[in-house]
Amino acid sequence: MNPDTSAIRRIVIVGGGSAGWMCAAPLAQVFGSTPGGPANPVGCEIVLIESADIGTVGVGEATLPSIRAYNDALGLDNADFMRRTQASFKLGIEFKDWGYVGNRFFHGFGGFGPAIVNRSSVAHWLRLAREGGMASHEEWSVATMMARHNRFAPPEAGPPSAANAFSYAFHFDAGLYAAYLRDYAVARGVQREEGTIVDVSVRPGDGFVTAVTLADGRRIAGDLFIDCSGFRALLIEGVCRAGYHDWTHWLPCDSAQAVPCEKVQPLTPYTTSTAHSAGWQWRIPLQHRTGNGHVYSSAHISDEDASRVLMSHLDGAPQGEPRQLRFKTGLRRKVWDRNVVAVGLSSGFLEPLESTSLSLVIHGISALVELFPDRRCEPHLVDEYNRRMTRQYESIRDFIILHYKLTHRDDSAFWRYCRGMSIPDTLAHQIDTFRRNGRVVILDRDSFGEDSWYSLFLGLGLQPEGLDPLLRQVDAAPLRAHFQRLHAAIAKTVEGMPDHAAYLARMVATRGA
């Protein structure tokens, strides 16, 4: 087949919101035209269809550090981005009442210091802690200490030091972020069509989608369709019947209520997750308000009681009534089927406990660009995409299950269920390996890393029975002196950093070039 005739000439994105425009923006960068520059030489159109009559979920306001690489790849100006999305900085997540009532720990972005003899710094900390005289492992996490003191400054360039041994992400208004990326994409040639899809045409024989028809009669044809229609999964399930892996046995929360409230001081550079009797509550601080939500199991608490729990734990005056959401945790059996690729909530759902929603969108569209097909959508590309996304979803799934499974709580039926439930073999292996000798097994290098697993294992109170024998090869006295130097350097560095709110105010007051 002639490559010219087999090339993708039109990509149709079904659905707007964060997922739709996060797909459109990088595709516009690849196939679009620079504002004021020459026309697109590739000859591939990008059309996004969205309807004002169909709302978006819009609760994905907390992110992972991958959002920075995404923004940087688009060439976004940081100050402009933070102004227009009402963003704040995020150094990690504070967990309250997970593990047991009164428990409090932090999952910070970045490590706990440089590796020693090819072993994690935390592994060596475990050894010294057993011998006594060591502060909490969290005091060797720069991000955690910054969050504890409400400090922020971006990592400094230069050789490794306490001033750059951390990472960060953002909190932002998801609706404003979608609008920001819409302006970016449209300026680079993406065609936005307003309307509701009422019919889908497929090709006889192989079932490839050929066009969608809008309520006003317009017919929009395409070669590759990206389903960003959210929980409706209009194409991937409604047309392709891709199927769904239901994970509610392991993650029983199936409902959420979300409500913003007035902001309060201080403006904290972290997300807060507080466990309740039948789920947990998020708190996401933005410049103009605070986002809140209660994720819960409807089998263990009524919607009315869940609403009362949410509203009684706000730290500012509510701005409206809670908005109800329903979901089923799981993953499409095929995220890419024929010429339809599902990205965002249409591909699957994992509760936002570790802020993975937008990160999965980024990985989804990045993998699509890397494996970009021609009109045939050859099976080997489809299979590789599905393999990557399945592996990542399952790895994140296990990381989230870990929060529930390692609980010592028995104060409600919900927590007793979580303690006793069976778990995936992959996670059981990871827990058993850590319990035996403090080793962390990473099954997906594109997901959470070793230090994140250490944060959860130790934060939830799991202590290993034994230790890696290689750790004993390091002399304890100089090792302890090394940890003391790091501890002092971190404390001094954090003390010299500005207040988070003050740094943010100065940044958004600047103007991009």
Active-site annotation, residues: 90
Phi then psi dihedrals of residue 251, to 5 deg = -130, 85
Query: Could you tell me how far CA 449 lies from the centroid of its own chain?
Result: 14
Whole-number Cα distances in Å, 367 to 101, 309, 364, 436: 41, 40, 5, 36
Whole-number Cα distances in Å, 257 to 3, 260, 296: 50, 11, 9
C-beta separation of 280 from 313 below 8 A: no
Angle between helices 379-405 and 425-437 (to 10 degrees): 50
Say how far apart CA 169 and CA 331 lie, in whole Å: 25
The partner residues of 2 in beta bridges, in order of sequence, read: none
Of 242, 212, 230, 243, the C-alpha closest to 337 is 242
Q: Which amino acid is at 53?
A: D
Residue 152's SS3 state is coil
Of 283, 315, 262, 263, the C-alpha closest to 501 is 263
Tokens matching residue 486 = 């790091």
Say how far apart CA 339 and CA 382 lie, in whole Å: 9
Say how far apart CA 484 and CA 80 lie, in whole Å: 40
Angle between helices 17-31 and 174-187 (to 10 degrees): 20
Q: Which amino acid is at 150?
A: N
Of 229, 247, 246, the C-alpha closest to 238 is 229
Query: Could you tell me how far CA 503 lies from the centroid of its own chain?
Result: 24
Whole-number Cα distances in Å, 419 to 271, 382, 412, 441: 25, 38, 11, 22
Of 106, 92, 127, 104, the C-alpha closest to 483 is 127
What pairing do the DSSP bridges indicate for beta strands 224-227 and 244-246?
A: unpaired
H or E segment at 508? helix 500-509
Whole-number Cα distances in Å, 393 to 63, 68, 349: 16, 21, 9
Q: Which amino acid is at 400?
A: I
Tokens matching residue 407 = 């609980």
The partner residues of 296 in beta bridges, in order of sequence, read: 255, 279
Q: What angle do CA 72, 77, 82 make, to 5 degrees?
A: 105
